[in-house]
C-alpha cells in the first residue's frame, strides 16, 4: 500500500511513500533495502516501480542508523560538543541552537531521540551529501534505472516562523537551488527581472515528501515523480549549496547571545582614534552619549556632570585661547624652544580637525560638601573628580558602541580659567579635558582584552 498525492495542476507531481520498510540497524544494507521497497511502488496510473527522473527522498535518521551513528543517551552532551562548531543561541527550555560541522544551523546539532529506544540517541549522518551520492550510485545500479535523484532530509525549524518542516541536508542528482539572479532572462509575467528569487528546489521536494510520509507513520522513504527535467546524471553540488556562508548571515547568533557579547565587548571597543571622517556625527548620537555618560556613579546622590558641545567661531576662539596659554606655559615655565613649542602644540590639532568637540565639566556647586578643614575638602574634590572621570569614560564607551570615534585630550585641565572665561562659566565648573568626536575614517582593528596581570591583586 502507498500513500500518494497528486496536485490538481497541468504540471503535476506524484508523491508515493511505500510501506514496508523494516527496522534499520548499523549492519543494514540501506541501498538494497530501499531498492526493494521502492521497486514495488504502485502509482495511480497502474504502473509500478521506479523510472528515470524519479527522486527518492530518505529520512536522515535511517541513513545515520545504517552508518552506525547511534550513541547512548548518557553521551548526549559529548555528542553535541562533537557535532557543533558554534553555539548560536540557547532557548529557555535548555535546547541549544548550533551551527554544526557542515555549516547548518539547527537545534541540538541534529541529535535526535524520537523513534529511538529510550536509552539511545541518533546523530546526523557523518556527511549527508556524501551519503546521498553513495545512495544515488547504489540505487541506480540496484534498480537498473538512471538518472535518479536522492535527497536526504531532516526536520528543521525556520527563522521567524513557528513550526518545523523537512529540509534537504544531503542531495545528489539534483540542482538544489535555482538562482534567478544569475539568469539575465528571468522575468515574471509582468516583465520584472527576478533579481531576488532563488528557488530552494531540494527543500521544496523535501517538504512535499514529508506531507505524504508523515512524522509518526513509520514511512522514512518517499518517491517524487514529475521533476525529471530537474534530475541530473551527475551528482551536482549537494545540499552544501543551500547553506548560507556565515560571512553573509545577518542573524548569526541569538538575540540574547548578541546582547551579552555586545555588553561584554563595549568597554574594549573604546580606544583613542585621531583620524575622522569629514561628515559630522549625528546630533542625536552626541545627545545619546551624554545620556549614557550621566549614569556614572556620583557622591551624595548628586548629578555634577556637565557637557558642552563647542562649535563654530566659539570653538575656534576657545582652542586659540588654550593654545596661547599653553604656549606661554611652555616658554615661561618650562623653557622650551620655539621649535619644541610648535611640536607640542601640534598634539592638540585633533581638537581642531575633529568633526565635533565636546568639553566635559564637573560643577562643584552641584552638591559638593564644604568641610571646614582642607583635608576633607581635598577628599571631597577627589570624590567628584572620580565621578567626572567615570562620566567621561561612559561618554566614550557609548560613542564606541554606536560606531563613533573619540579622542580624549587633557588640555582643558591645564587652563581651567581660560576655558571658563571663553565659555562664560562660573568658577565652580572644572573642565575635565576635551573629547574630539566623529565617525572614524577607517574601522579600528579588534583589540584583545589585556591580561590584568600586575594590575590586579587579591589580599587576605
* Rounded Cα distance, 43 and 54, in Å: 12
- Find, among 76, 77, 70, 126, the residue nearest to 101 by Cα: 126
Give the pLDDT score at 260.
81
Inform me whether the pLDDT recorded for 6 exceeds 50: no
Structural domain harbouring 109: 72-115
Residues 191 and 78 in one domain: no
Predicted pLDDT of residue 358 = 98
Give residue for cell 569629514: 278
Q: pLDDT tens across 396-428, in order?
A: 999 999 999 999 999 999 999 999 999 999 999
328-366 tens-digit pLDDT: 999 999 998 999 988 888 888 899 999 999 999 999 999
217 has pLDDT over 50: yes
Domain check: are 192 and 324 in the same one? no
**Is the backbone peptide bond immediately before 212 cis, with ω within 30 degrees of 0?**
no
- Is 460 a member of any domain? no
Residue 103 and residue 143 in one domain: no
pLDDT of residue 227: 94
Binning pLDDT at 50, 70 and 90, where does residue 144 land? Answer: very high
What is the torsional sign of CA 202, 207, 213, 217? positive
**Given 248, 280, 296, which residue is the final one in a domain?**
248
Interatomic CA distance for residues 292 and 305, integer angstroms: 12
Contact 61, 72 (CB under 8 A): no
Average pLDDT over residues 269-288: 94
In the chain, the number of structural domains is 3
Residue 187, pLDDT score: 65
Residue 442 Ramachandran class (φ > 0 left, ψ -120 to 50 alpha, else beta): beta
Residues 142 and 280 in one domain: no
Same domain (yes/no): 172, 239:
yes
16 and 144 fall within a common domain: yes
The last residue of a domain, from among 50, 85, 115: 115
The sign of the torsion formed by the CA atoms of 448, 449, 453, 455 equals: positive
The chain-wide mean pLDDT, for the chain, equals 90
The percentage of residues in the chain with a pLDDT greater than 70, rounded to a whole number, is 94
Please answer whether residues 121 and 76 qualify as being in contact, where contact means their C-beta atoms are separated by less than 8 angstroms. yes
Q: Are 106 and 153 in contact (CB under 8 A)?
A: no
Do 330 and 437 lie in one domain? The reply is yes
Judge if 177 and 188 occupy the same domain. Answer: yes
Q: Are both 111 and 191 inside the same structural domain? A: no
| Confidence category of residue 71, pLDDT binned at 50, 70, 90 | very high
Domain-located, residue 254: no
Residue with cell 536509552: 119
In a domain, 186, yes or no: yes
Domain boundary among 88, 115, 142: 115
In a domain, 263, yes or no: no
Residue 39 forms part of a structural domain: yes
Burial class (CB in 10 A: 0-12, 13-18, 19+), 301: exposed
Measured over the CA atoms of residue 370, residue 375, residue 376 and residue 380, the dihedral's sign is positive
**Where does residue 122 fall: left (phi above 0), alpha (psi -120 to 50 degrees), or beta otherwise?**
beta
Does the structure show a pLDDT above 50 at 9? no
pLDDT at 7 over 60: no
User: Is 395 part of a structural domain of the chain?
Assistant: yes
Residue-wise pLDDT tens digits, 18-69? 999 999 999 999 999 999 999 999 898 889 999 999 999 999 999 999 999 9
Side-by-side strand order, sheet with 84-90: 84-90, 96-100, 105-107
| pLDDT number for residue 74 | 94
> Does residue 274 share a domain with residue 222?
no
In this structure, the answer to whether residues 363 and 218 fall within a common structural domain is no
- CATH number of the domain that residue 290 is part of: 3.40.109.10
Question: Is residue 262 one of the residues assigned to a domain?
Answer: no
Q: Is residue 3 pLDDT above 70, yes or no?
A: no
Per-residue model confidence (pLDDT) at position 397: 96
Check residues 277 and 254 and name the one with the higher pLDDT.
277
In a domain, 78, yes or no: yes
Q: Are residues 159 and 228 in the same domain?
A: yes
Amino acid at each position: 500500500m502507498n500513500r500518494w498525492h497528486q496536485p490538481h495542476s497541468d504540471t503535476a507531481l506524484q508523491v508515493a511513500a511505500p510501506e514496508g520498510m523494516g527496522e534499520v540497524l548499523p549492519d543494514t544494507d540501506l541501498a538494497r533495502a530501499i531498492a526493494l521497497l521502492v521497486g514495488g511502488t504502485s502509482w495511480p496510473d497502474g504502473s509500478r516501480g521506479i523510472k528515470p527522473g524519479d527522486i527518492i527522498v530518505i529520512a536522515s535518521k535511517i541513513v545515520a542508523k545504517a552508518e552506525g551513528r547511534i550513541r547512548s543517551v548518557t553521551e548526549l552532551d559529548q555528542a553535541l560538543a562533537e557535532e557543533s562548531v558554534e553555539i548560536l543561541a540557547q532557548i529557555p527550555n535548555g535546547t541549544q541552537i548550533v551551527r554544526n560541522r557542515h555549516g547548518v544551523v539547527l537545534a541540538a546539532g541534529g541529535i535526535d531521540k524520537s523513534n529511538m529506544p529510550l536509552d539511545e540517541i541518533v546523530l546526523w549522518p557523518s556527511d549527508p551529501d556524501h551519503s546521498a551520492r553513495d545512495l544515488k550510485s547504489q540505487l541506480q545500479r540496484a534498480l537498473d534505472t538512471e538518472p535518479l535523484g536522492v535527497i536526504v532530509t531532516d526536520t528543521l525549524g525556520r527563522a521567524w516562523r513557528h513550526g518545523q518542516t523537512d529540509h534537504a541536508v544531503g542531495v545528489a542528482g539534483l540542482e538544489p537551488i535555482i538562482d534567478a539572479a544569475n539568469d539575465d532572462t528571468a522575468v515574471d509575467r509582468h516583465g520584472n527581472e527576478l533579481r531576488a528569487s532563488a528557488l530552494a528546489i531540494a527543500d521544496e521536494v523535501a517538504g512535499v515528501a514529508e506531507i505524504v510520509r508523515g512524522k509518526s507513520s513509520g514511512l522514512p522513504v518517499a518517491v517524487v515523480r514529475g521533476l525529471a527535467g530537474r534530475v541530473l546524471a551527475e551528482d551536482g553540488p549537494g545540499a552544501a549549496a543551500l547553506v548560507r556562508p556565515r560571512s553573509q548571515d545577518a542573524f548569526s547568533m541569538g538575540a540574547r547571545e548578541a546582547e551579552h557579547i555586545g555588553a561584554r565587548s563595549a568597554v574594549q571597543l573604546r580606544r583613542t582614534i585621531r583620524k575622522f571622517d569629514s561628515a559630522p556625527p549625528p546630533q542625536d548620537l552626541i545627545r545619546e552619549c551624554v545620556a549614557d555618560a550621566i549614569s556614572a556613579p556620583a557622591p551624595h546622590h548628586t548629578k555634577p556632570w556637565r557637557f558642552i558641545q563647542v562649535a563654530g567661531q566659539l570653538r575656534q576662539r576657545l582652542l586659540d585661547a588654550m593654545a596661547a596659554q599653553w604656549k606661554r606655559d611652555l616658554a615661561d615655565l618650562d623653557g622650551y624652544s620655539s621649535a619644541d613649542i610648535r611640536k607640542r602644540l601640534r598634539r592638540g590639532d585633533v581638537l581642531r580637525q575633529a568633526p565635533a568637540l565636546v568639553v566635559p565639566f564637573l560643577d562643584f556647586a552641584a552638591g559638593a560638601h564644604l568641610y571646614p578643614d582642607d583635608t576633607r575638602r581635598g577628599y571631597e574634590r577627589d570624590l567628584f573628580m572620580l565621578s567626572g572621570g567615570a562620566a567621561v569614560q561612559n561618554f566614550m564607551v557609548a560613542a564606541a558602541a554606536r560606531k563613533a570615534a573619540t579622542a580624549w585630550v587633557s588640555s582643558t585641565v591645564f587652563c581651567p580659567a581660560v576655558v571658563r572665561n571663553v565659555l562664560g562659566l562660573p568658577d565652580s565648573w572644572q573642565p575635565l579635558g576635551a573629547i574630539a568626536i566623529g565617525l572614524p575614517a577607517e574601522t579600528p582593528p579588534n583589540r584583545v582584552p589585556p591580561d590584568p596581570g600586575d594590575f590586579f591583586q587579591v589580599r587576605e
